[in-house]
Amino acid sequence: GGTALDAVEAAVVVMEDAAVFNAGHGAAFNAAGGHELDAAIMDGRTLEAGAVAGVTTIRNPVRVARGVMASGDFVLLQGDGADAFAKAKGYETVPQSYFGTDQRRQMLAEMKALAAKGQAERANEAQKHGTVGAVARDRHGNLAAATSTGGYTNKPVGRIGDSPIVGAGTYANNATCAISATSKGEFFIRKVLAHEISARIAYLGQSLERATNDIVMVELPE
């Protein structure tokens, strides 16, 4: 009986709190050995959205993304401004050490070793990625999507991927679909991937399966 928006937020919070995912606790390390987290949430009923990028002290970035959406004044906050917004609004903040795990430290060492040999492309998906997300449709037919990530292991400091970019890694529209994406975000940003799938459903009359397959399996680089 709850809303799709509440459902996706709750699901992503669970994954942010679990050390096995690349979001929140257990997030990937950047090249400097720190953490910069991104998250977004979108309401398919109203097309309202909120996102944070490059945050360093927020325990649950998706909660703050929801708070940004609720503010109604802006859609995306980044870095120190987003951290300050979270603190001012009473969201839980944590030290950087909270996000790191031994497994992620090992992955950072492995990625740096591969990069030093010019073999970064040989890294497996577990070493590089692991973004989490959720989509939902509630009993009223409303859609929602949410995404949260630590980015990819050994990413440059300041890099922001597709997860907090509405229309790239996160999108929801009651008229079409709800999407949360994971992979190499740069490709998804260039394609405006999530919105492109929605547009194919709206303008070409494609099914979700056809639109998704054409974009992900045909048009994206291997």
Rounded Cα distance between 111 and 120, Å, is 7
Beta strands in the chain (DSSP E): 37-43, 49-55, 76-78, 132-137, 143-149, 170-172, 178-180
d(CA 123, CA 10): 31
In Å, what is the CA distance from 104 to each residue of 30, 49, 135, 176? 10, 30, 26, 37
Which residues have a catalytic role annotated? Answer: 131
| Rounded Cα distance, 3 and 11, in Å | 12
Query: What is the length of the chain?
Result: 222
Q: Alpha-carbon distance 115 to 69, whole Å?
A: 38
Cα torsion angle, 14, 42, 151, 123, sign:
positive
DSSP 219: I
- On the CB side of 46, CA atoms within 13 Å amount to 12
126 three-state secondary structure: helix
